[in-house]
Amino acid sequence: MDYLCFKALCCKGPPPPRPEYDLVCIGLTGSGKTSLLSQLCSESPDNIVSTTGFSIKAVPFQNAVLNVKELGGADTIRKYWSRYYQGSQGVIFVLDSASSEDDLETARNELHSALQHPQLCTLPFLILANHQDKPAARSVQEIKKYFELEPLARGKRWILKPCSLDDMEAVKDSFTLLINLLEERELEPSRM
């Protein structure tokens, strides 16, 4: 009996590799994309600068690795976002819930475009209402209503969660929900 126990503990070989998912992360400049991803990668929050162009980060989680392609959010760059969508398995959209009405309107239009884009429309979306720690932050309910998510995203898989750098556990929980959606999608029979 002891031999079997020893063999089970010691001779299993390496753990199976974690699945990897390729995601695209979009949102306006200043929404907090770089800061959130840097914190998830345990990088120093010092010296964070807005992304111009794009950057790629491998974000490790216990049950998966997310290869996140973060696209800069400046208006001169947003028109090129769609060139980077190919191969994505999911979308992270970060919005500044404390932004001006004009920026919120722009964010809404960009999210609507992404939800309807042929390369993204069937993918799971994680929508993060960032900067919830700011006094002017709108609630998730206000965001959901303003962004018209219920009618627009009906039948799509999306998650809307509040977040801030002050509560990274909540951010990690949100990403875990997204990983669950990605896993579910992988188990579905392919649709032709």
Is 33 annotated to bind ligand? yes
Is 31 annotated to bind ligand? yes
Q: Two tokens at 155?
A: 């039948």
In whole angstroms, give the CA distance from residue 82 to residue 10. 48
In whole angstroms, give the CA distance from residue 115 to residue 112. 5
Is 53 annotated to bind ligand? no
Is 106 annotated to bind ligand? no
**What's the maximum distance between 2 C-alpha atoms anywhere in the chain?**
70
| CB proximity list for 170: less than 8 A, separation 6 or greater | 161, 162, 163
DSSP code of 100?
A: -
Is 87 annotated to bind ligand? no
Is 155 annotated to bind ligand? no
Q: How many CB atoms lie within 10 A of CB 38?
A: 21
Is 23 annotated to bind ligand? no
Is 28 annotated to bind ligand? yes
What is the phi/psi pair of residue 104, to 5°? -65, -40
Is 176 annotated to bind ligand? no
Is 47 annotated to bind ligand? no
Q: Of 9, 159, 165, which Cα lies nearest the Cα of 92?
A: 159
Is 29 annotated to bind ligand? yes
Residue for token digits 């290869």?
A: 67
Residue for token digits 């049950």?
A: 63
| Strands of 97-182, DSSP E | 125-130, 158-162
- Binding region: 27-34, 51, 73, 130-133
- Binding region for Mg(2+): 34, 51
- Binding region for GTP: 27-34, 73, 130-133
